[in-house]
Structure 1
């Protein structure tokens, strides 16, 4: 009995010792394994390669939508095919296999692989389709790899392309809205660390150093892709029809200041000097500058309503006042300048001056204003400064400085001469006539109930309504006759300005900038549309009311019908 009691403790001690030895040996072995994995000797490291690798998680770029929620730009994960030439066993066989899958000549692939035989990363195709990805996975070649890449797609193709912009190979915005909203659209990639065995199989993912990816945020624009297509199509047709150097068009909702469409077309012509150019468009159309934002032009007679309205508000003339405009020849100013009209009507009312676009009448009343008053008129409508809409490269236009202002300037600006404006400035200022005399802040995003509306007061509501009513007569009695709509009552103004020479030495005698700006319907304006036709072929047509006016009319009609705006009552009555 005593022997049994003595044996039991001994067995326990031996068992514990055995367990301790086994535990020590296992721990030592685990330590050695871990050490070899984490920090192997140099010779072993060379043989086995790295035991850890960092994997980058791609973050999707935010999507871009139009005002109705239509997708304009989106990102997805794609696959790039590469080959590690050091692992190729038979380059001829591999080249044939890849060529059959990718529809690339095997000889072309083989030549590339042999030329870079020591390279471990040879891109064979930048982006694979789904069928190609499946076939490559089925191929199961260790020397062939797939790499995830970000792919940016534009579902509507070229519609609004230069406006939407483009991303670079690093998926960062290079132009257009892609660049403007880069900070919102761009995502933040993530990463994690893998522990691998000698065959590069993942055996563990470390929670240390894990950084989750963050996808970019979506952006909704004020642009409507349907209206954008209408505007672009009609502009393109007219530029081609009249063999113009280019054209620009803008569609704005005056109530909110939202830009609904904006297009810019170039038409290179053989044998023509001084044509509008854009080197970036030759690289990619989406990289081109937006000339509605960057390139000012001389507005001509489309500028008259701004000065007419402000002079009327100051009491420098009343609508029915008869001015001594010439009947048979040019008007001569008090300082000896000759002012010519397209037609001479004799003494005419201040109202008729705007309807018939009479330069002489504008000059007569302009001389009643002080320099400061005329300069104030420009400021009130936003000319000489950017619109601050947020589009890159926006310019301020060209306005003569107060120190250089002269009597010649005083009589030129009211006719839309000696001043240059951007299409953005023009539509923003014209919105005052479609509203209560206030100029809205232009917007690139749809308005919400929480938005604060920023406006500046240009003229009184009464003067705005009066000017709008007289511009309605321009469409029926003046230079807008050929641009009148059969569906809606428009108010607008045409402009035909001589094309200035780039060397600063005057103007071309037979080359022009034709423009037309209008709003509709006149009793409750929903749209303001501006069209500028750059250097139309005079043998086909060059007057603003003939070349640009019909474009504006057609865009207004199609857009208002698309927006389900009822036909103007007087036109409906005539139809009935």
Structure 2
């Protein structure tokens, strides 16, 4: 095939432009690579030979300085064309074997199958989830959706009040305003913080930090003044405090200070807790009746938007808070005040460590006053927080002799006139017991023994009664068991089982050694005598009020311990203790007081000590007591003082306080003197001449340890 071009010239022939020698040749632009064209499917027809130009002879070279000449032919100047430079040879690409049609169809089917399987899996997963949401657990997801839409806010309940029997408040909840913020609704935290800081006199930076938290509820300030409340409301009216509200916080208030503090107890403010996690009432009646007092908080339900703001016009539901139940105690504030002041004065005057006084109404078991005071490290006397009349114990000493004598009379072992030969000392097993005063062996009646508080005479009566019956009466009079108040920390006392008695316990326990009781237990035992032989459990709550008026509480349980005749004889014998015996300072002019003095050593229980009653300084400490009643007045009182220094005897320390409290209660309840009442025949003998010579009372003591 010819290599001539379209004009018949050889393709390798160089064509020169005919231009003037003085005109330089124009620069040839760099060749551009044209895009690769697909190969033609048909062969290109060869060009006609007549159109090709035969190759011309090569033109002689011109000197470099000679300018190109301009052609004067009619066809005009011609440009010189040069042959394009050869293209670089590219390396050959590796040959990829092509897929056959069958292979392409197989691959397509596989891809389609995989796609179908994936789609089926997705649809199945969606279907399973739909079944789970709509069939298996629909309520769960409905609740979740509602939780996103429904908002709520707790409404605190006012704690119930505690009143005395006459409606005078011991403790009550008082609404105190506090500033609360919803940070999500505060649009301008800095401006709001500055405004609140000016009103509250607080640090603006601290308030701003509270307003920028993620919480929806923040307490900014508590117990603000009424003037501050007025300023905040004025700012809210101007829309200067968006997201800020005023709420009431109920704080416990004691209008009469610490009056009856040991009984009423203490309650924490709303939201506070102790280190042990206790909330609400933490002591006393506040704790015992915490469930009834605290009430039931309410709740406000509303619809909210995605930002947690209430939707205007949305659904709202209010469950109002239910106020706690009010309690009306059996206590009388007037008597409580007198009891606290009287026992505090005696503790101060005698240099004692502590003291307790309880006033009761024997027929109903109602506690009219219950005082417990102690001296602190600085020497200040104040009400205790633990109500020791119920929570602590002491060895009763001679006041326990009443139970021994009453049990013996009830069983018929003795009568008030039974005579005994009473020396001033007696050995029982490995212990030697003494009367407080030396005296020759005397013929004393049961009445003489009780009135003079003879240890030896009481032990002889107990020996006739026997160990089993002594234990029976101690328990029947209420020792060694719960009182039934349900008071926090209430003690059962300490009372051995008969099988655990030592040989000398038949001498120790009848005179009040080797056992321990609370003040309330001992007074409840004396109430048996005052209440014609029937034991009535003590009670502290007279009635409750849940909003529909006062509802009296159930009467205290009771059981007969001794007969009414035995009780009358014991009343007569105990009245001689006051009129002729060791309790003369307990007398109340115009009334018949009856009771028993008691002076008992306080166990120290120092490890390794030979005498369990000696303290670290080698001295004895004493519990001085008087327990008694006003015959015919339905009134009983116990006074007990720990470690007095001016005297150790209950006749000197406790009896005068009894007389003062009894006279106060009689005036308070306008009880007529016995001269206006029907006289009673008590049939007990007068004291013997030798018994009248005894001056003072016996101390429950021995020459050995309390265990023997």
Normalised TM-score (structure 2) = 0.65
CA distance in 2, matches of 1:451, 1:154: 27
Q: Displacement, 1:350? A: 1.6
Equivalent in the alignment of 2:228: 132
Q: Displacement, 1:559? A: 1.1
| Pair 194,116 (structure 1): closer, same or farther in 2 beyond 3 Å | closer
Equivalent in the alignment of 1:179: 287
Equivalent in the alignment of 2:522: 426
Q: Displacement, 1:445? A: 2.7
Q: Displacement, 1:167? A: 1.7
Instruction: Give deviations 1:156-201, integer Å, cap 9, x for gaps.
Output: 2211122112222337222211222222222212212334688957
| Pair 217,92 (structure 1): closer, same or farther in 2 beyond 3 Å | closer
CA distance in 2, matches of 1:90, 1:213: 31
Q: Which has the larger radius of gyration?
A: 2
Q: Report whether the alignment pairs 1:516 with 2:610.
A: no
| Pair 553,179 (structure 1): closer, same or farther in 2 beyond 3 Å | same
Equivalent in the alignment of 2:330: 222
| Pair 262,52 (structure 1): closer, same or farther in 2 beyond 3 Å | same
Q: 1:393 aligns with which of 489, 496, 503?
A: 489
Q: Displacement, 1:525? A: 3.3
| Pair 113,56 (structure 1): closer, same or farther in 2 beyond 3 Å | closer
Equivalent in the alignment of 1:362: 458
| Pair 334,428 (structure 1): closer, same or farther in 2 beyond 3 Å | closer
Higher helix share: 1
8 Å contact from structure 2 (residues 364, 555) kept in 1? no
Instruction: Give deviations 1:195-225, integer Å, cap 9, x for gaps.
Output: 4688957623524x54332222222221111
**Greater CA drift, 383-392 or 90-99:** 90-99
Q: Displacement, 1:51? A: 7.9
Equivalent in the alignment of 2:312: 203
Equivalent in the alignment of 1:335: 429
Q: Displacement, 1:336? A: 5.4
Q: 1:303 aligns with which of 400, 404, 424?
A: 400
CA distance in 2, matches of 1:450, 1:114: 52
Instruction: Give deviations 1:136-172, integer Å, cap 9, x for gaps.
Output: 2224442754333222222222111221122223372
Query: Is there any run of 5+ residues in structure 2 with no aligned partner, and where?
Result: 1-147, 271-278, 544-550, 678-708
Equivalent in the alignment of 1:403: 499
Equivalence map 1:420-499=2 (5 Å): 420-446=516-542, 451=554, 454-499=557-602
Q: 2:652 aligns with which of 546, 554, 574?
A: 546
Normalised TM-score (structure 1) = 0.79
Equivalent in the alignment of 1:40: none
**Greater CA drift, 234-243 or 119-128:** 119-128
CA distance in 1, matches of 2:638, 2:209: 57
Higher strand share: 1
**Greater CA drift, 245-254 or 121-130:** 121-130
CA distance in 1, matches of 2:553, 2:209: 62
Instruction: Give deviations 1:340-398, integer Å, cap 9, x for gaps.
Output: 11224441222111101110101122222321111111122111111112212211111
Q: Displacement, 1:94? A: 4.8
8 Å contact from structure 1 (residues 248, 265) kept in 2? yes
Q: Displacement, 1:529? A: 0.6
**Greater CA drift, 490-499 or 72-81:** 72-81
Secondary structure of 2:449's match? helix
Q: 2:413 aligns with which of 303, 316, 333?
A: 316
Equivalent in the alignment of 2:177: 79
CA distance in 1, matches of 2:247, 2:192: 22
| Pair 234,125 (structure 1): closer, same or farther in 2 beyond 3 Å | farther
Instruction: Give deviations 1:111-143, integer Å, cap 9, x for gaps.
Output: 644776844776553212433322322244427
Equivalent in the alignment of 2:97: none
8 Å contact from structure 1 (residues 487, 557) kept in 2? no
Instruction: Give deviations 1:466-502, integer Å, cap 9, x for gaps.
Output: 1111111111221111222224221011111111104
